[in-house]
Chains A and B, each alone.
Chain A
């Protein structure tokens, strides 16, 4: 035991921002790379305004395609005057859904804002009001993005169904499976949402009076336990689906027909 130490203030008990000795910074770093990489790719892909359709496959970044200028128009809600990429007409819905998602909030508050960068690691900023003040108080609209995302999801299932129709005949290509897989993953992500769980029955105090909602709540609760996992795999899913359609359309790869 060594004595004769200089006197430190209790506030100096923690050297630097943390006394943690493990590699706590790995996780936020990984999130910055993956989430940042996805945001860059999605913006780039949306700006391209080409190579998003190759019959019968439509990239999820461009679905539903709502402008009359679309390579494959789902619903011509917007006339020919729209000459920007049609992706921008809809991408704000899934974008807003993910940006206000309770899981992604955790991920980016930690890794992009450093509040906190890791558990028991000091916050980067000096003052903090969290989600009680502007801008983050806006996160409270998440459930509206959830409803809107369900509409988009319905179109993605429609696209997946169409991906089995080759010149009017039933067929199965690798792309059909890719689009279906994407719709499945996005469904798992959307239905495991915390707001969905709440709307289903989480707001009730007496389940026994509403057995149907109780059953729904239990089902969504099961899904919700894996929300983080679904958030990541569906993110990769949707990006890879776009990559697949893009490479097909550019002629870099060929679609393998199974049936």
Chain B
């Protein structure tokens, strides 16, 4: 791709208000949206606020909404747009705006604090813990999360219903819950918490989180639905409940 011209419509403003400002940007071969934003900073708007760090899709800082879709700016290639196109860039909708493209994402850190931590059981006789590769394979996927919070911003449960924020952890945290709940050594039980306080039931598995995840974590299929199934076993399945009683097990996973 040779150099092409684009019009960037970038949201400028803070919590008291703002508007879109248009910038003409000439994009060279290989450039990504973040490069264009940097170019705008270098030429037209030295005070344009944007968060970024690695420019390699690994730090999760440069999340924004590009033409209405939550994406990493550093991983959105300019070659995916028609030359001459107008590209709208806004900050993440679900979190309070600080300035321009920067939002306050502390909601996610607050929710993270509410996750009961990893609690291993008793050590083996020789004083160590052992686990098998096949027991840990399933949770490796969850550890790829870069905390970009794209899944959190796209999730309609809180994106469109501010009142649900109090009682909803969100997909990123469901991934974290799943990685702990399915861990072979962990003994904490978070199923009741997920159902009662973290809003697992608010999720209607419409998979937007999965669609936007830059790490391609199958959030809905591999974290949320399996957790929902655990809630079903504990609360909505009389047969599973009876079987646990008969066998004297407290949770399904201990079977």
Chain A residues in the interface with B (C-beta under 8 A): 1-3, 5-10, 13-14, 18-22, 102, 105-106, 109-110, 115-116, 119-120, 122-123, 127-133, 136-137, 140-143, 194-195, 197-198, 202-208, 214, 224-225
Contact = CB atoms under 8 A, between A and B. Distances in A.
A1 B201 CA distance: 46
Contacts of A18: 68
Nearest to A21: B67
A118 B23 CA distance: 29
How many residues of B sit at the interface, in one of the four size bands? 35 or more
Contacts of A10: 13, 15, 17-18, 97
Contact of A106 (B131, B181, B202, B207): B207
Contacts of A214: 134
A1 B21 contact: yes
B132 A208 contact: yes
Given A8-B17, A13-B93, A115-B206, A132 B199 contact: yes
Contact of A20 (B69, B233, B253): B69
A140 B201 CA distance: 10
B172 interface: no
Nearest to B233: A203
Contacts of A20: 67-69
Contact of A119 (B154, B161, B225, B252): B154
A13 B20 CA distance: 8
Contacts of B19: 5-8
A143 B138 CA distance: 22
A214 B137 CA distance: 12
A116 B230 contact: no
Nearest to A142: B232
Interface in B95-131: 97, 131
Contact of B229 (A198, A206, A207, A208): A198
Given A120-B68, A123-B156, A206-B135, A130 B18 contact: no
Nearest to B134: A207
A110 B207 CA distance: 10
Contacts of B93: 13-14, 120
Interface in B149-180: 154, 156-157, 159-161, 163-164
A45 B160 CA distance: 40
Contacts, number: 167
A102 B232 CA distance: 13
A194 B227 CA distance: 11
Contact of A116 (B13, B201, B206, B229): B206
A22 B163 CA distance: 29
Interface of B: 11, 13, 15-23, 44-45, 65, 67-70, 88, 90-91, 93, 97, 131-132, 134-135, 138, 154, 156-157, 159-161, 163-164, 181-184, 186, 199, 201-208, 211-212, 220-221, 225-226, 228-233, 235-237, 252-255
Contacts of A130: 157, 201-204
A133 B255 CA distance: 30
Among B13, B69, B231, chain A packs the most CB atoms within 10 A around the CB of B69
Contact of B201 (A131, A143, A207, A208): A131
B90 A13 contact: yes
B22 A194 contact: no
Given A2-B22, A8-B18, A110-B206, A203 B69 contact: no
Nearest to A144: B237
Nearest to B222: A221
Contacts of A115: 156, 204, 206
A119 B208 contact: yes
B132 to A, nearest CB: 4
Nearest to A123: B160
Contacts of B131: 206, 208
Contact of B237 (A105, A110, A137, A143): A143
Contacts of B135: 205-208
A212 to B, nearest CB: 13
A141 B69 CA distance: 34
Given A21-B67, A195-B229, A109 B204 contact: yes
- Give the 5 A-B CB pairs with smallest separation, nearest first: A132-B201, A19-B68, A20-B68, A119-B208, A198-B229
